[in-house]
Structures are given as structure tokens and as C-alpha cells.
Amino acid sequence: MTQVDHTRMANAIRGLAMDAVEKAKSGHPGLPMGAADIATVLFTQFLKFDAADPAWPDRDRFVLSAGHGSMLLYSLLYLTGNKEMTLDQLKHFRQLGSLTPGHPENFHTKGIETTTGPLGQGIATAVGMALAEKMLAAEFGKKIVNHHTYVLASDGDLMEGISQEAIALAGHWRLNKMIVLYDSNGISIDGPTSLSDSVDQVKRFKSAGWAAELIDGQDQQAIAAAITRAQKSNKPSMIACKTTIGYGAPHKAGTAKAHGEALGEEELKAAKEKLGISLEPFSVPDDVLKAWREAGARGAAAHKEWDEQFNQLGSRKRAEFERRIRHERPQSLAKALRAHKKSLLENPLNVATRKSSEAAIEVIAAAMPMEFVAGSADLTGSNNNKAKSAVAFAAKAPKGRFIHYGIREHGMAACLNGIFLHGGFAPNGATFLVFTDYARGAIRLSALMGTGVVYVMTHDSIGLGEDGPTHQPVEHLSALRAMPNMRVFRPCDAVETAECWELALNRIDGPTVLALTRQNLPQLRTTAPNDNPCSHGAYELVAAQGDAKVSLFASGSEVQIAVEAQKQLAERGIATRVVSVPALELLLSQPAERQNAIIGNAPVKIAIEAAVRWGWDAVIGHDGEFIGMHGFGASAPVKDLFKHFGITAEAVVNAALKRV
Amino acid sequence: MTQVDHTRMANAIRGLAMDAVEKAKSGHPGLPMGAADIATVLFTQFLKFDAADPAWPDRDRFVLSAGHGSMLLYSLLYLTGNKEMTLDQLKHFRQLGSLTPGHPENFHTKGIETTTGPLGQGIATAVGMALAEKMLAAEFGKKIVNHHTYVLASDGDLMEGISQEAIALAGHWRLNKMIVLYDSNGISIDGPTSLSDSVDQVKRFKSAGWAAELIDGQDQQAIAAAITRAQKSNKPSMIACKTTIGYGAPHKAGTAKAHGEALGEEELKAAKEKLGISLEPFSVPDDVLKAWREAGARGAAAHKEWDEQFNQLGSRKRAEFERRIRHERPQSLAKALRAHKKSLLENPLNVATRKSSEAAIEVIAAAMPMEFVAGSADLTGSNNNKAKSAVAFAAKAPKGRFIHYGIREHGMAACLNGIFLHGGFAPNGATFLVFTDYARGAIRLSALMGTGVVYVMTHDSIGLGEDGPTHQPVEHLSALRAMPNMRVFRPCDAVETAECWELALNRIDGPTVLALTRQNLPQLRTTAPNDNPCSHGAYELVAAQGDAKVSLFASGSEVQIAVEAQKQLAERGIATRVVSVPALELLLSQPAERQNAIIGNAPVKIAIEAAVRWGWDAVIGHDGEFIGMHGFGASAPVKDLFKHFGITAEAVVNAALKRV
């Protein structure tokens, strides 16, 4: 082992961070400089990792919740010997195509556990990772799954509300292998945090069931001692590390000026001189680099030992573990869903799609009982996503696969990301569709990172009735469809619901929203072909007799209205077809030829959806008819509401007659 | 004063709540039954209000954060003598058109301070109200503004992350006239809160700078004593009231069964018998009703005294106060903005629209220095919404009119709602556009309630550059445009920015998002007519020479691209016009004739926006050309990004040439 003074090791981070931000003329030098001591202690003495294999399943997770301090992470990846993170990458910090974007992107750069930058997401996602570790360890044993989840969090992370949801869950679940290092530098963009904050974070975390203490974050001994204590705790631990932002910068250290911009030539030079770092940009002394590389290889032995343990598992168990980590679905799933659809055709299920979804979930959970992890933000009985066989997860019931998240939609969504990113599970979470608003920060990260999580969003329209406009989504379908890499399915019956669940589970490069009704719906489908018509976003459900004069497009609960209107129009001799559109944005991403074939060229096009029109003009044209919502909903029994807002077969028929 | 036993008073609430929920076969009886003692003590002994005038500006505010317990509020309104809240309204609980919707709607029912139901919003909005009280008192004196803000919050409210943002702000600002009564019944929909929670709320609030204590919430003396202590505290106070959900229901009390559904005939009868309430539905004994009505009139004397104090103000001050409470803008505003626009034409401002916005704010703040309340979620220097003259608000600087919210977007948005609802201010808050995702729960309530708040959302596209895709909005414009009653302006230059600010400030029945650039833009406008062309959402900025072959539609930073492309196309003899579209959804809500006139009938229509296409087909058709984003952004300097994503004049010209 090369013996190099801790401070010189830490200064390597500081130097690289300063240089990269300076070269980019953009970025955040202050956090890496302040937190370099914490990171050095963690990465050289505690973190279990093998730089040669950043995908080793039992590595400790390190989440830089303070994503703006990305140069800390990039420096660490380079120093510890991550193969792709070359010095050249650091020199192209924040440039197009480099592996060193402004904020860490796990889908882009190997060795990064999750995408951070939007504050609070990292710590909340890490809770999901630590939860997954606990669940997977309970299943495969501690010889195979036994690692920590470390988080470096900033003042800003802890101001965001999502952090409260996250720490409440971690405390409740006693995720004692989660250790948060809080970089308490007391500075945010506007200035000292005293401008807007006086929370005692140690007391706050303790109130949520954490072990918490305050230390000097520039003192390597104190850091090491605190991490050692944390590793022994039976609670999750928060170590508030008092640090100086921009540590070493003679004029800017400890001020907001060190936070989010290059230090400037002069200050950089003075900082390097003060710290004893070479003025040569991007230089790291040979012995320091060697010591860092040794730190990066430190875990190789543990990795080897793990490989041996893993090989001692039976071949079946090994294959299962590997399949799960790859997010590959079991072969039995497709078969089981096929059988389920067949049985629906024989025994139609005329129930709410949240209930059809429950029926599908029973089949899915039977096929993948330990990997299908469901949960709800305190609406379990309404969301219907708990399989009968599912047991509630708890601190003392780590084999439970149903998670009670409490009334914490944002925390839940971030947890789902963390569970998926950890690997081993197909997570879904549930609440009312309207409350995607609360979770949108984390939902967007699902889409950006491409996590294959499923959002089971019930009560998907005014169809929820009496709870009124605060609980009735009207713009949410549109707002979610607008999000890149998001799939939004709104099935119209039990068969489509099963098909959409299948598509959702097989989608492992992006999230899916299932928008489901509260109210009962008739089963409309009489066929269930293997090629799954929902996979194109839309398909002709009812053909016209002869050349169609009218095309009716609808999703979810409004498809039955379209089908009823079709009958009435056909009776009047007006050839009408019905296109079911379970996924509007998916239809619009199909090749032009297929889109045209599905949309057709009937002179009258009418869309029916109990939501806003926004987006539908792509199908019906700006001069098309839209039967739906034109504002917020109202509180009343469901039957009154559809009538009140004019979303009825009668209205569709009248609109068609007016046009034909 | 009619002397009636406290319990009989409280039981009147319980009886009405049980009966209304039973009749509707829908609703939440448990909270009103459990919290009836708290409400009775508060409304009969402490709350300063005059049922005859629910709009009295100096009334105490009472916010039912646990909005699902709406029957508590409706019962109180009826019992205390609110004129419109008749017994008949209670009998039509949750029915179409009644004043008693599922969750309280302040825009619908007089005597309700804010719309609640989405958990956590009430407590966070109340912080804004208490803040407004403190600011307004500092300006008009304690004889005119001197009231408390009470909140009844549930377990669910305190699980939501927004509650942490709210209590951190209230603690920091030492809003000692805010008193939260926490209905700690330990039950949520899924069952006992121990399923998902083990936070010690008293300790948590203390860590945020609150006074907090735990009492027996069924003990009227304990409640009164705690409120008395809270009124004397120099901190905001939280009183954790241990209660029994569904208090009085023999079998369901203390269980989730009492939470969200009718008790059922049998249990209701048994509960009434146990409590000694008449079995006759909706009956309140005469003496009890009389005592309640006296409680409702209790504040009349204070109200009269206040009127006298108010009349002693100078007539100018009185008029100012009344104008402010009415949300009427000062006449000087329009004049000042007119002069500002004129000066822009003389001295063009070629800067980022966030800087143009700053210039407009200087003018606005000068015209309404004490009512224009700006603030930022820790991005003050980037959002540019702090006027030079503005002083930071602080516990000890209550005349400050710039609020440092810290990194709390959701809490900020709810605060804005609360400030507006309290009355007296024109509030705006700022962050990056991408972080509207974090605040969407409260933003939606702005739209639903129709609060005239302004969201100053800068860094509105990939134009923010190096921070990368986590910070670059692409779907946000569309997601916000889809929201009913939301106005989204994306001005293209300094003149439009001033015009949009004017429209935003004059909009007092709904919120406005101003989407502003980080990067510099040329001033394109050469005229500034009084009728403000932005008011129609779009207008022809550059006319074609002859019959237009091509119409280019663009917003914000892409209008300059359209203008440049127009020049190049015109040079090639292709008659092209440019339509600036500062507010797409506003254009689409214009009468058809005006829409058609603005959109025109050029055979080639091209829209240009550095965001997703979703929504634009309404203007350009599904076969129109769209130059914009097709997925998430990337981290790089701005000039590289527009080129990389093909959002350039060259791309527009090529697309046009391909079509013409």
C-alpha cells in the first residue's frame, strides 16, 4: 500500500474539480473542495467497491445527492481507476458528448448510481436502494447481498420536502445500512443558509428515527470515527459534517461565490498555492494517483470472495439472481398473462380497470412473487395493486413485497427509481392519478434515467365522483404524455388492462403510467391476439359497415361511450368506426403509414376523453370534435358528472350528426 | 350567553357530520367526530371571526388542512350562522351544485379560506397567510392587521414533504401567530399510521423552531390551555392533539373504517345513542344551536371596534388598504409600464428575457413597492426578480418584500397562494422552469382557486446550457399549458416581456407562468401598441411580402430564429410571415375567427420551439413541420446545443424549402 497523506489525497480532488470548472467556465467547485475530506475517507477506508467492475451487484452504493458537485464524483471515478473516466473526460467537463455532464447521469456514465441534480432526489432514491438491499438480502442471503448505501447530501437536499418523506421512510424501515453524510457548509446560492433556514438537522433526523450527530467535516479522524459508529448502528445514520464550501480558496471559501461558478484564474492559483497543489492544470502527483488507484482496487479481494460465494449458490439460484439483476422477466410471465387473457374472453370481467388490474396483478404476482414489488401511498384498498398473497414489508418483515409508503407520493416515486436501479425487482407504486403532480420531480427522473417502473394511477378522471376537482385529474394524462420516454396507458377494459400490464412490465428502459378507473366498465374486447394491439398505442376496436363517415377515438372509460355512440350512428345508417387509443403518445410515435392506417380518413373525426383536449388535435385535427373536459371537474356522484360535463353517447351522436 | 355543555356543542358537529356522510353515502365522518372537541374550543373561545361577514379583513384565518374532513367545516359554518350555509346545503353534501363539495372549495363557498384536500397544501398555504399578516401588519399597523392563522392538520398532512418546507419557513420567520392543531388520530386509510410512520412530530416541529407539545385532544380544558400558551409564544406553535378518529362510534372509532366512508345505519344509530344525540337526522337542539349562533356572533364587537379603528385611518390609507384587499392594481402601474415600453423602443434592450423581466420589475416595484412581493427558491441572482430597492423579508424585517424561500419550490408556491388569498399583495415566486415539477401540486391549486400569482420561471429551455437535461425543461411548457385556468407566457424580447408582466399582474382570477430565457435575445419588436398584442396569445410579428407561402410560428427564444429564417426565405423569393406566439393556449382559446386570422392559411406551417411538439399540432396540423425537441436535452454550452438539436434558422429554411 502506498502511504500518502490524507490531505494530499483530498487535494487531488480539489485540484481536479477547480481545474475542470475553470476550463469549462461553468460548474460548482465549492462542494468538491469542501467535501473532499469526507469523500477521501469514505472511498479509501470504507466504501466497498471495485473500480474494475462498477456493476458488481454487491458493491456499496454511493449517491451524490448534491449532484451539482458532480466534479467530486468524476474526480473520484478517475482517481480510483474507472476505465472510461479518463483525464480527457475531466478536461471536457460539461461539453457535448463527454462522460462528464453538468450533473451526474447514470444512464450515460458508468460508475454512477443514479442521476442527481434536482435536489432531494438522490437521498430519496437512495432510500429505495437501501430498501432493495434489505429485501434482496432477505431473499438471497447476506453472503450475496450485504452492502451499504452512502449518500452525500447538501443543505439544499435537506430543504426539499421530498427529503422528509425519504428520511421518515428510512427511519421507519430501520434501514441501518443507509448512511447519509450531510455536507453542512451552510451556504446556498443566495448566500448563507441562515437567510432562509434554521432547522436543527440532527434533531430533525433523530425525530424520524435516525442516529444523528454533528462532526467536523474537515477532520479525517472524526469522519472515520463517525462512519464506524454509523456502520454499527441499528438505525439509519446521518452524520452532519460541518465543512467549508470552497475549502482552500483564500477569498471565496465559506461564501456563495465558491458555489456555482469558476473560481477565476487568480483565486484558483491562490487556492492551489495555499493547498500545496501543482499549478499545472489537471495534474496529480504520481504517488497520490497510485494511492488512489490502490484505493480503487481495494475491493477486488472482496469482489473475488463474493464471486466465490456466488458460485457456491445452486445453478438455479444463480440464474435467478442474474436474471433478476438484468431485469429480465421470467418466461412464466408471458404464458400466465396469455392464459389470463384467454380466461377473460371466456368469463368477461365487467369491473373497474383498477379491479381488472388487480386481477392481472394476481396472475403476475404468482409468476414473479419475490420480484414484483408493489406499494401504495396510503390508498391500498383503492388502488387495488396488492395481490392477495402479498405480505406487507416491514423492518422485521423484509421478505414482504408490498410497501406501505404512507402519504408520500414523491418519496414513493423516488423509492421506485431506487429499487429499480439497485436491481432485482420490478417495482410499482400506486396513488390517484391526480397526485402524479406531487411526484412529478421523481417521475421525470424515471423517464430521463429510463427506469422500468410502473405507476399504478387509479381514479383517473371525473369518474372518481364525489371527491371533487381537487382529486379529479383533467390535465394529467396530457401532462404525462408530453414527457419524453414516458408511456401512458389508459386501458378500456379487462383485456386491455392485462395487455397494458404486460407491456409495462416488459418495458425496462422507461416508466409506464397505468391510468385506471374507479368506476365499473364493461369488457368490450372479444379477441386477445398474441401481438397485443395496445403495443401500437391504438387500434380499430369496432369496424364501420362500409366506408367510415365517422371515426370515434377514445381511451379508457370513454371507449364504452364511443361503442354505444357507434351503435346509435350505425342504426341511423352512418358508417362509424371506433378506435381504442390506450396510449395516445405511443400512437403518435408509430411510423406514418401505421398511424395513417389506424387514424383513417373518415371525414368526421371525434375524440372522446374525460380530460382536456391538449394533444388530441394531432389525431382529430384542430377542426375535429372533442367531447371531454374544458376545465376542472366538480364534486358529485359519477353518473351526474358525465352528464353534467356532456361526456355521453348522446353528445357524441349529436356532434357526429351535426358534422355528417 | 346561552350556557351549554361543551360536549353537547361538540356533539352537534358529530351528529351533522355523521348524517351528511350517511345521506351522501360518501365522505369522511371520522375526522369531524374526532376533532369536534378541538373545533368547538377553538370556535367558541378563541377564533376571532364574525359569521355575518366572512370577508372581514382582520378575521382569524382557519384552514382545514385535512380537507377530507370537510363536514367539520361545513358544520361549523352552519352552526355559527354563515348565511349561505343552510341545513339544506348540508343535506346535499357532495352533490352537484351544492355549497358542500367533497373537499372545501374557497372559490365556491363563502367562509372557506382556501381549497384543501390534496394533503399538505393547507398547512403550507397557511404559512403564506401568516406571512402576509405579518407583512401587512408591519405596514398598516396592529390596530388594522392583527390576527391569528389556525390550521387543523392531519397525520397525512404531516407525512407530505411540503409540510416540512412549510414548517421550516414558518419556524425561520418566527410566525408566532400561526397555530397548528394537529389531529393526531394515528389512523390513515391503510390502517394505523404505524404501518408507515414513526416520526415524533413534537420533536420534528421543535427542530424547525416551533413550540410544540402533546395533549389530549378530547379534553376541552387541555385544548384551551394549550391554545392560550400558543398565543403567548414567540414561535409558531404546534399542538399535537391525541384524538380518536370517529369518536363515539362504538365499533369503528379508532379504526380506518371510520375514516373515509359512511358509518352505516346501525353504527350511526349506536354512535348517536352513545353520544346522546337525537336520532332525527340533521337535528340540533335549540339551545345548542343558539349557543353556537352566539359563538358565531361573538366577534361582532371586535369587528365593530375594528371598523372604528379603520375609520380613524386617513382616507388615503383607507382607500389604499381597500384597493389592496380587492387586488386592484394602482393606476400608476399601467402608466409606468407604458412609459417603460416606450423607452424600450427608443433604447432597445438586447438581453435575456430574465433580464428584460428584471427591467420590467424595476418599473413595477416602483409603482407598487409595498404590494409587489417577489421571492425565489434560492435562485435570486439567476431569476432576476429582485428589484434593486427590494429589501429581504426576515423575522425582524417584516417590511421586507423579497422572500428568500430556500430550496423549497413546493412550499414557495403554496405560500404564494396563501399570500394572495390573505389579501393585500401581488405575490410572485421564482425558480427554474424545470422545477415547476416540484411545485405542481400547489400550482394546480393556484389554477383551481384562481389565485392571481405569478410564477417567474427562468432558464426555460436547453438554452440554460451546461447544467444539462435534469435542469432543461422540454415538456414543461406543454404540461403547464394543459392545465385549466393557467396562463403560460413565453415572451420573445424585452417589449413582449413587459407586455406579459402587465397581463400577468392584471390577472387576478388565475395564475400566470412567465417562461424566461437565461441566454441573451435581440429586441425584435418595433412597436408597442396600447392594446397589447400578447393579450390574444399570438400575433403577426413579420408580415409576408405578398401571399404567404410559409407561416412560421415560434415562442420566446425561437422567435429570433423564425425572424432570421423569414429573411433567408424572403431573399429566395418565398413569401414568409412570422407569428410570435407568447401564449399558445391563449391563442387556442380565442374566438375561431381571430384564431384563423392569426394562424392564417399559408400552405406550409412550421412551428419552432425548443420544447416538445405536444400541443402544437393544433396550429400547424399533424402534417406540419416542427422544429424543436424530440427528447431530453444535454449538457453543453448553449451554442452547441441549439445546433446539436437542430433548432436553427438553417433547419427552418431547409424544412420550408422541402415543402414549398
Mean pLDDT score of chain A, rounded to an integer? Answer: 98
Out of A24, A189, A382, name the one closest to residue B379 (CB).
Answer: A189
- CB contacts of B479 in chain A (<8 Å) are 475, 478-479, 482-483
Neighbours of A567 (CB within 10 A): 15
Grid cell at residue B318 = 383607507
- Taking only the tens place, the pLDDT of each residue in A335-359 is 999 999 999 999 999 999 999 999 9
- The verdict on B261 touching A (C-beta cutoff 8 Å) is no
Grid cell at residue A374 = 408493489
Out of A160, A406, A614, name the one closest to residue B408 (CB).
Answer: A160
User: Which A residues in the span 442-481 are in contact with B, Cβ-Cβ below 8 Å?
Assistant: 444-445, 447-448, 465-471, 474-475, 478-479, 481
pLDDT band at A83 (very low <50, low <70, confident <90, very high): very high
Q: What is the pLDDT of residue B440?
A: 98
Q: Which amino acid type is present at position A187?
A: I
Has residue B403 got a pLDDT over 90? Answer: yes
Q: What is the pLDDT of residue A491?
A: 98
Grid cell at residue A580 = 381504442
Residue B377 burial (C-beta neighbours within 10 Å; 0-12, 13-18, 19+): buried
Q: What is the pLDDT of residue B501?
A: 98
Average pLDDT estimate for B521-527 = 97
Q: What is the pLDDT of residue B32?
A: 98
Grid cell at residue A409 = 407520493
Residue (of B403, B469, B402) closest to B432 by Cα position? B469
CA–CA separation, A313 and A309 (whole Å)? 7
Query: Does this chain's domain A331-515 share its CATH topology with A536-659?
Result: yes
Q: What is the pLDDT of residue A559?
A: 98
pLDDT band at A2 (very low <50, low <70, confident <90, very high): confident
What per-residue string of b and e applies to B175-192 under the rule 16 or more CB within 10 Å gives b?
bbbbbbbbbbbbbbbbbe
C-alpha of B641 from chain center:
34
Q: What residues does each domain of chain B span?
A: 6-304, 331-515, 536-659
Q: What is the pLDDT of residue A530?
A: 87
Has residue B244 got a pLDDT over 80? Answer: yes
- The verdict on B15 touching A (C-beta cutoff 8 Å) is no
Q: What is the pLDDT of residue B530?
A: 87
CA–CA separation, A527 and A533 (whole Å)? 10
Beta-strand relationship, B187-188 and B191-192: antiparallel
Contact A481 B614 (CB under 8 A): yes
CA–CA separation, B509 and A220 (whole Å)? 57
Q: Distance (Å) from the C-alpha of residue B412 to the closest C-alpha of chain A? A: 11
Grid cell at residue A227 = 462512519
pLDDT band at B2 (very low <50, low <70, confident <90, very high): confident
Has residue B1 got a pLDDT over 90? Answer: no
Has residue A1 got a pLDDT over 90? Answer: no
Share of chain B above pLDDT 70, in %: 100
- The verdict on B483 touching A (C-beta cutoff 8 Å) is yes
Q: Is B241 helix (H, G, I), strand (E, B) or coil?
A: strand
Give yes or no for a contact between A503 and A545, defined as CB atoms under 8 angstroms apart.
Answer: no
Annotated binding site of A for Mg(2+): 155, 185, 187
By residue count, chain B amounts to 660
Has residue A488 got a pLDDT over 80? Answer: yes
Can you give the C-alpha Rg of chain A in angstroms? 27
Average pLDDT estimate for B39-57 = 98
- CB contacts of B513 in chain A (<8 Å) are none
pLDDT band at B149 (very low <50, low <70, confident <90, very high): very high
Give yes or no for a contact between A101 and A26, defined as CB atoms under 8 angstroms apart.
Answer: no
- Taking only the tens place, the pLDDT of each residue in A578-602 is 999 999 999 999 999 999 999 999 9
- Taking only the tens place, the pLDDT of each residue in B406-454 is 999 999 999 999 999 999 999 999 999 999 999 999 999 999 999 999 9
Q: Is B409 a catalytic residue?
A: yes
Indicate which of B112, B163, B169, B207 best probes the interface with A, i.e. most A CBs within 10 Å of its own CB: B207
Out of A98, A198, A408, name the one closest to residue B172 (CB).
Answer: A198
Annotated binding site of B: 28, 68, 117-119, 155-156, 185, 187, 259, 354, 382, 435, 459, 467, 471, 518
Q: Is the whole model's pTM more than 0.90, yes or no?
A: yes
Average pLDDT estimate for B51-60 = 98
Architecture of domain A6-304: 3-Layer(aba) Sandwich (3.40)
CATH number for the region B536-659 comes to 3.40.50.920
Question: Which alpha helices (H) appear in A64-188, and where do they start and end?
Answer: 70-80, 87-91, 121-140, 155-159, 161-172
Question: Which one of A409, A499, A558, A609 is the catalytic residue?
Answer: A409
- The verdict on B434 touching A (C-beta cutoff 8 Å) is yes
Q: Which amino acid type is present at position B221?
A: Q
- Taking only the tens place, the pLDDT of each residue in A535-573 is 999 999 999 999 999 999 999 999 999 999 999 999 999
Has residue A60 got a pLDDT over 90? Answer: yes
CA–CA separation, B155 and B182 (whole Å)? 8
How many beta-carbon pairs below 8 A join chains A and B?
A: 346
Four-way CATH pick for A331-515: 3.40.50.620, 1.10.1040.10, 3.30.450.20, 3.40.50.970: 3.40.50.970
- Taking only the tens place, the pLDDT of each residue in B472-497 is 999 999 999 999 999 999 999 999 99
Nearest CA in chain A to B640: A96
| Residue B513, beta-bridge partner list | B455, B488
CA–CA separation, B429 and A653 (whole Å)? 46
Q: What is the pLDDT of residue B206?
A: 98
Q: What is the pLDDT of residue A295?
A: 98
By residue count, chain A amounts to 660
Backbone conformation region of residue A493, classed left if phi is above 0, alpha if psi is from -120 to 50, else beta: beta
Q: Is A488 helix (H, G, I), strand (E, B) or coil?
A: strand
Out of B209, B474, B635, name the one closest to residue A94 (CB).
Answer: B635
Has residue B27 got a pLDDT over 90? Answer: yes
Q: Distance (Å) from the C-alpha of residue A352 to the closest C-alpha of chain B? A: 18
